[in-house]
Amino acid sequence: MIRLFTALEIPPEVSEKLVQLQRGLDGARWIEPHDFHITLRFLGDIPENLADDADEALSRIPMTPFPVEIEGLGEFGGASPHAVWARVKPSEPLRILQGRHESAMRRIGLKPETRTFLPHITLARTRRADPAEIAQFIQAHNLFATPGFTATRFALFSSRASKGGGPYVIEKTYPEDAFEPDEEWAEED
């Protein structure tokens, strides 16, 4: 069995801005910057052969680059918040891409996702934080925004079962030939 999900990666320049928020909230377990992502579809713990089917289905999903904007914060859990996140501004291209992921995973036999898609980047797990402090933290940062970025590909991630999520590993990117310069290449310029 392997735990998988699909997501958009977060570029380093955006991660740097998100990291600046990661302080001032007692009891928060901050997510590592290399684990920031925008989940498109959680596949769950699936057998290896189904993971191969998922890979094949994902390789057929067209990916047209589109802008992504991040603004504001929120939480999951209501009166007992368990996560603080940065809000990803909804857009038609993002909605369409997520819908294609949902359809592809249903076609290979996964159960439909029951949660409404709310694009976000988890910043912290907050089970041990005071709900009033979380509300104050969100209110204090409600005007937060990062420079936008262009999503040029999506990825299939794996994760091991752990508290708080992560570490996450990119198993494959789609389209495979999407250009993403790495730091070493960029330094050669």
93 beta partners: none
- Residue 101: exposure state from Cβ atoms within 10 A (0-12, 13-18, ≥19): buried
Q: How far apart are CA 163 and CA 110, in angstroms?
A: 24
Catalytic residue among 34, 37, 82, 101: 37
Cβ count within 10 A of residue 162: 9
User: Which of 157, 159, 150, 158 is CA-nearest to residue 178?
Assistant: 150
Q: Which residue has the tokens 């290399």?
A: 34
Q: Is 120 a catalytic residue?
A: yes
Dump strand ranges (E) for 64-162: 66-76, 83-88, 120-125, 145-151, 154-159
Rounded to 5°, the CA angle 104-106-109 comes to: 115
Catalytic residue among 34, 82, 120, 141: 120
**Catalytic amino acids?**
37, 120
